[in-house]
A and B are shown apart, each in its own frame.
Chain A
Amino acid sequence: MNMQQSQLTVSNAMPTHQGRLINTNYGLINRSRMNNNDSMIDQKRRAILGGTAAAIAGLTIAPGVFLTETAHAKPVDEAISSKTRWGILIDTNNCNDCNDCVTACEEENGWGSGSEDEQNSRPDQKAQWIRTVKVTDKKTGYAKTLPMMCQHCEHPPCVDVCPTGASFKREDGIVLVDKHICIGCRYCMMACPYKARSFIHETLTDQRSYAPRGKGTVESCTMCVHRVDNGENPACVDACSSSMTFGDLNDPDSDISKELERHGGTQIRADLRLNPGVRYQGLNF
């Protein structure tokens, strides 16, 4: 990440007296396509400053009391901790096959329609970090559509099998690939029960600085770790607030935990006992 982008990301979050960060610029900046254009940056910076003041005024009714609950971000200099377990809850009852979550991810992370790359790759060779899957009960005809991506398992098989440790799980449960030590053996792709990973079959040039990708390495959904670390929701969740909830599964007061407590949730391939961080509702098969 270059200096301008570092400033941008850091300035997106404001420290509070509670030692947490709240995000202040939802909807104010189109982060879908970052570029290094100076004037763009200046515009964004102005928007952030204006947005920050407005957001603080709007969200705070008294010191320490907020009208809205935001994702619990940590200060940038604080180590990732296992106190947090990030998760996403997807209510498939509201999922209407609109593909907004997929498009948002493509734009945010620079793959698929969000990138000029992968022109040579066949459709089955192109990367897909998130996809909509249609499930049908053949007997009854009952069908559901749902987004499928890396399930950020507590016991990820991809991490177990990776010979170099390039596949790893952060303390907060986000499963990532270290592109510097991925040797491209694809054993993680053999091991993932969700088919969540893609191999890059050709040279790439059009990338986001915060979502590095490269020929000969494996990649998957990062749960938008660059946004999460900055107190924001993953791009898919922001694109689909009606069906997707992001939050800390370890925090009983978080929206996601409360919703799971009230209505429960399903793990895909729960029989494998991987304890995924992505849960679904409305899958009554």
Chain B
Amino acid sequence: MKKVYFSEIDGNSMGYLAVVAILGLITVLGLGAFLYMEHSGHWVTGMNNQVVWGMPHVFAVFLIVAASGALNVASISSVFSKSAYKPLARLSGLLALALLAGGLAVLVLDLGHPDRLIVAMTYYNFKSIFAWNIYLYIGFFAVVIVYLWMMMERKMNGFTKAAGTAAFIWRLILTTGTGSIFGFIVARQLFDSAIYAPMFIIMSFSFGLAIFILVLMAIYSGTNRPLGDAILFRLKNLLGVFIAAVLLMVTIFYLTGLYATEHHDVVAFILNGNNIYTKLFWVVQIIMGSLAPLALLYNPVTGTSRAWIAIAAILVILGGLAQIYVIIIGGQAFPLVLFPGMEVSSSFTDGVIASYTPSLPEFLLGLSGVAIALIIVTLALKVLQFAPNSLADVDVDPHYVAAK
């Protein structure tokens, strides 16, 4: 393999400035939404005492899950020694850090008391999976920064594999922790399942890679640097495998639910209900977000078209957001079972499907998490050498050229 040369992007073009300005504007709007919700209180949101986590959590969890998945490309290079992925490893690490920062920002800004962040850092209940996650998130930043350092500092290159392995293990534990936020909840019918940990890990592979492919294509098209088919097609084929793996996990999850009578009600609520969650599940998550991209990525015509690959990646992201929405919001909207098999009613919406309509400020706060992540990437590319000068086939994978 040829030596890979990295350089900062120029970042002087109108296009670059426009990207920064748009992302900056979304970030500012999100911060404005946060201030409004923080000042007024959560009554201005669609959240209530049954649906306690709303749209901000959907974005936050999606970004946090995608963050660990974005690191996969680097892991494939460092841990599994696939040299074709080596030029992408730095960008992979950067994107992972940026997505986690964006997700955590949204998570923290949606707290009832974001001003008490220092409390969350100083008071710990070690039986809480949330408390573990605080360590896992902070540790992820540290581990990935060290990993990037090993990769970017020539004298330290020898430690890249060790640091990459540590980061890979850490990210698996981190996503296990994120999935377990739901897996460890006994109260809600849709949660309380060990499958959430592995399912979230597979979801992270898929969402993180979809975002990585889009960011990679945007950078190389925006900077006019060559991006060859060899690496792009490898990535899109891998994305197809991950989409199929997520589908497998989702199928197992709901089949288990369909088998156990105890879970029939909640599974019917998601799969065959007259509600938004059923529509999101079948139309956005399964058809648009899984089956369509699978077809697009493996069809010989669309699978070799950059535009269609980009569309497939966008569909995976939309499907992923829908999947997290169905899990988080759908899981809360379904009533708690106080008396199994009985009909329950009260003044506190017992026994009825809870309503939740996300408000604009919630959506803006969530979207600002995406903007924060992307603006970090955009600015970092300008100041540090994350992007290889060329990802042309001849530079990345001479065998691919020879085989052509």
Residues of A bordering B, CB below 8 Å:
120-128, 131-138, 148, 157, 159-166, 181-187, 189-195, 197-203, 215-218, 268-269, 271-272, 285
Contact = CB atoms under 8 A, between A and B. Distances in A.
Given A185-B112, A268-B339, A157 B187 contact: yes
B52 interface: yes
B280 to A, nearest CB: 20
Interface string B159-200: 000000000000000000000010011111001000000000
B48 interface: yes
A31 to B, nearest CB: 25
Interface stretch (B17-25, B139-147, B205-213, B342-350): B342-350
Nearest to A127: B49
A185 B346 contact: no
Interface stretch (B66-74, B83-91, B121-129): B121-129
A190 B40 CA distance: 23
Nearest to A204: B41
Interface centre among B120, B186, B343 (most CB of A within 10 A): B186
A285 B339 contact: yes
A132 B187 contact: no
Contact of B354 (A124, A271, A272): A124
Nearest to B335: A195
A199 B113 contact: no
B112 A217 contact: yes
Given A125-B49, A193-B186, A136 B346 contact: no
A183 B117 contact: yes
Contacts of A191: 185-187
B129 A161 contact: yes
Given A163-B128, A215-B41, A216-B111, A133 B186 contact: no
A165 B123 contact: yes
Interface string B103-119: 00000000111101101
B43 A187 contact: no
Given A135-B339, A182-B113, A160 B52 contact: no
A52 B261 CA distance: 59
B339 A201 contact: no
A198 B49 contact: yes
Given A148-B338, A185-B112, A202 B119 contact: no
B244 interface: no
A146 B340 CA distance: 16
Q: Is the interface of A mostly helix, strand, loop or mixed?
A: loop
Interface centre among B40, B41, B49, B336 (most CB of A within 10 A): B49
Interface centre among A137, A160, A163 (most CB of B within 10 A): A163
Contact of A121 (B43, B116, B117): B43
A165 B120 CA distance: 9
B53 interface: yes
B130 interface: yes
B355 interface: yes
A63 to B, nearest CB: 47
A186 B343 contact: no
A124 B350 CA distance: 11
A132 B347 CA distance: 7
Nearest to A163: B130
Contacts of A285: 339, 341-342
A164 B346 contact: no
B49 A202 contact: no
A124 B48 contact: yes
Interface string B285-306: 0000000000000000000000
Given A163-B125, A164-B120, A165-B125, A133 B338 contact: yes
Contact of B127 (A135, A148, A160): A160
A199 B120 contact: no
A157 B130 CA distance: 13
Contacts of B113: 182-184, 216-217
Given A201-B41, A201-B42, A285-B342, A125 B48 contact: yes
A128 B49 contact: yes
A189 B127 contact: no
Given A163-B128, A165-B123, A184-B112, A124 B338 contact: no
B50 A185 contact: no
B204 interface: no
Contacts of B186: 157, 191, 193, 272
Contacts of A215: 41, 112
Contact of B53 (A138, A186, A200): A186
28 contacts: A123-B347, A124-B349, A124-B355, A125-B42, A131-B346, A133-B338, A135-B342, A135-B344, A136-B345, A148-B346, A148-B350, A160-B125, A160-B127, A162-B130, A163-B124, A164-B131, A165-B123, A165-B124, A181-B116, A182-B113, A184-B113, A184-B116, A185-B130, A187-B181, A199-B112, A200-B41, A201-B48, A216-B42
A194 B336 contact: yes
A215 B341 CA distance: 36
A159 B130 CA distance: 12
Contact of B344 (A134, A186, A199): A134
B404 to A, nearest CB: 53
A186 B119 CA distance: 15
A133 B112 contact: no
A266 to B, nearest CB: 10
Contacts of B184: 161
A165 B122 CA distance: 11
B53 A183 contact: no
Name the 5 nearest CB pairs between A and B, nearest first. Answer: A184-B112, A216-B112, A163-B130, A202-B41, A201-B43
A163 B186 CA distance: 17
Given A190-B187, A200-B41, 7 more contacts: A121-B43, A132-B346, A161-B127, A183-B112, A190-B53, A191-B185, A200-B112
Nearest to A180: B119
